[in-house]
Amino acid sequence: MAEESPYKPFYSVLVLAFFCSLLVAGAAVGLRPLQEENKLQDRKKNILQAAGLWQEDASIDALFADIETRVIELDSGQFVPESSISPPEYDQRKAAMNADMGESIPDPDDVAGLGRREKYSLVYLVRKNGDINQVVLPVRGKGLWSTMYAYIALQDDFKTINGISFYEHGETPGLGGEIENDRWQAGWQGKKVYDESSQEALTVGKAQGDTPEKYQVDGISGATLTTEGVDNLVDFWFGSNGFKPFLTRLQETGGKYNG
């Protein structure tokens, strides 16, 4: 009887490992478009939720058809023509890291811990009789463990919050992860981002002295650091390095801005 090669088990394991890796790589590549589509649908759902337009039994795409997606230049607050940047193809996160499309934020201004900022942002508009009736803005900022991503919808005075929806973060479930809690998010409704003199005035967490309730959102107990991160992201995105130039244009034109 011929003696078996001592290397045979080794070869068998190698061949098996090779086919398994092919299978895993094939699945990862093959499923990527599906994952991307699911991510896109989830973001649309969160935009609808922030705007109070989400309905459990309706199709996301049908509901989203009422929302106009545009790109703005953050510094000027002006709309960017679709021929320059096409909203469906614009990847804001990649743009922040790009040498031409993004820029680093000087330390004193970087209150949300972002490091870099994109020059252009997507915005989502809901119109009524042709005028902008609601605007949904993508915001993000550092929490305790992660960058937290959310959409914030403002009513037609462009100062009052209609809703917020956190859709991606790596905070601890039950602690910082409570930013996703519907009850906590409901507490943002009706709060004012700007005061009478158009200064950013919303505080998330501990109220400072006699802060009126309309400028104050409760913090999450046991998650002081995540709460601070949320407070900071509000400060950044509603300040002059964020959406303030755009929101000022909407406030001044009563939602008729089209430039």
Ligand X SMILES: Cc1cc2nc3c(=O)[nH]c(=O)nc-3n(C[C@H](O)[C@H](O)[C@H](O)COP(=O)(O)O)c2cc1C
Cα angle value 161/167/169 (rounded, 5°): 115
Q: Which of residues 8-37 bind ligand X (CB under 6 A)?
A: none
Instruction: Report, in Å, the least distance between residue 226 CB and ligand X.
Output: 4
Instruction: Report, in Å, the least distance between residue 179 CB and ligand X.
Output: 9
CA-derived radius of gyration, the chain = 23
Q: Which residue has the tokens 């400028």?
A: 215
Torsion of CA 165, 75, 91, 49, to 10 degrees: 20
Query: Tokens standing for 206?
Result: 């501990």
Q: Which one among 147, 162, 165, 226 touches ligand X, defined by CB under 6 A?
A: 226
Q: Which one among 137, 164, 193, 223 touches ligand X, defined by CB under 6 A?
A: 223
Instruction: Report, in Å, the least distance between residue 22 CB and ligand X.
Output: 38
Residue 171 near ligand X by CB under 6 A: yes
Q: Which residue has the tokens 């905070």?
A: 171
- Whose CA is closest to 50, among 186, 134, 151, 141? 151
For ligand X, give the closer residue by CB, 6 or 173.
Answer: 173
- Whose CA is closest to 140, among 163, 158, 117? 117
Q: Which one among 190, 212, 222, 254 touches ligand X, defined by CB under 6 A?
A: 222
The one-letter amino acid at 106: P
Q: Which one among 115, 175, 180, 207 touches ligand X, defined by CB under 6 A?
A: 175
Residue 67 near ligand X by CB under 6 A: no
Interface residues toward ligand X, by CB under 6 A: 144-145, 171-172, 175-176, 221-226
